[in-house]
Copies of this chain bind each other. A is one copy, B any other.
């Protein structure tokens, strides 16, 4: 119930503030026998680490992960797995400005109203650094999915008005381009846009997409635990996401049924869909086609322009934010979306093992 846990059978609980001692996560329900070391986690964390390009905050954090439990002789034990990342670059600076007044687009006001006070240093718990725990958990889920032949990957499809061209799709470019776009040309144009935005003390939004391939048919549960419903929650829970869509998404509202339905056909390899308007789910269960999910991300709320706001005493005032902030959230959020998707899919796969009596009986007969 408390808000810092995600998942049912595979479940993470995250903790930590932007400028506290450390951040971390406890992953519970990790199946026993997975080969796992810190490098498996680190390679995911490095994708969201700050200070790696011109479009990322210059804050320098090693974000070095330490596994504290749940792994023995290189394998997961099946018990709770704790991971920790120490904060090392908390600048000792003057927080009186944001301690006293509410930054537009941030959670300062709402946290103060809910809890009566807040850790104002760098956003405290509402900071993007909160996602370290998500990514560390997602790294485990992704590794398990790989063992099952399931691939999850996310990338940027748009930054402001710049969109990738599917004809240029280059999966390898995702990890190489600072924008996380799988299209080199779009990457260049987006970087130019971001340079302008930054020169204007402004910030930009964008779109990211995540694909799941290799998923068996029938994963997800009817009614409230539909796979797409859980993916929507998972992705909408990422700080700046304001819209989530599956498959054709918003466009279905202007389609006709005859256009939107995906015809089935069979060949020697089995049943397939001729198109994938549905984005890989039917009735909330995976339908064998790739799962396609998209998230629309707002511009970084920390901009370096003067903004009107109020202070803790409820008086009108102005604020001009200083400090180290990304001009765009998307490129570093891509791995967060991938992590949330991987954990959601894994959890649904685990639950799905209990759907049929014959398979349960067979499982225990072995």
Contacts and interface: CB of A to CB of B under 8 A. Distances in A.
Interface stretch (A44-52, A54-62, A170-178, A299-307): A299-307
B104 A262 contact: yes
How many copies of this chain does the complex contain? 4
B298 A260 contact: yes
24 contacts: A2-B29, A2-B80, A2-B221, A3-B28, A4-B80, A15-B79, A31-B360, A33-B358, A73-B117, A107-B285, A109-B271, A113-B218, A115-B218, A148-B361, A148-B364, A203-B257, A205-B260, A207-B253, A229-B233, A230-B233, A242-B250, A261-B307, A264-B309, A274-B308
Interface string A231-261: 1111111010011111111111111111111
Main DSSP-derived SS at the A contact region: mixed
Interface string A268-312: 001100100011011111110000000011111111010111100
Nearest to A104: B261
Contacts of A359: 363
A203 B81 CA distance: 33
A365 to B, nearest CB: 8
Given A80-B223, A107-B285, 10 more contacts: A4-B79, A203-B258, A229-B233, A232-B232, A232-B244, A237-B284, A243-B246, A251-B296, A252-B297, A256-B299
A237 to B, nearest CB: 4
A158 B69 CA distance: 35
A217 B271 contact: no
A14 B80 contact: yes
- Chain A contact patch, size range: 35 or more
Interface in A6-49: 6, 8-11, 13-17, 20-24, 26, 28-29, 31-34
Contacts of A257: 105, 202-204, 299-303
A130 to B, nearest CB: 6
A231 to B, nearest CB: 8
Contacts of A216: 113, 364
A180 interface: no
A86 to B, nearest CB: 9
B358 A205 contact: no
A117 B356 CA distance: 10
Given A1-B11, A257-B299, A110 B79 contact: no
A69 B303 contact: no
Contacts of A160: 253-254, 256
A242 B114 contact: no
A222 interface: yes
A68 interface: yes
B303 A245 contact: no
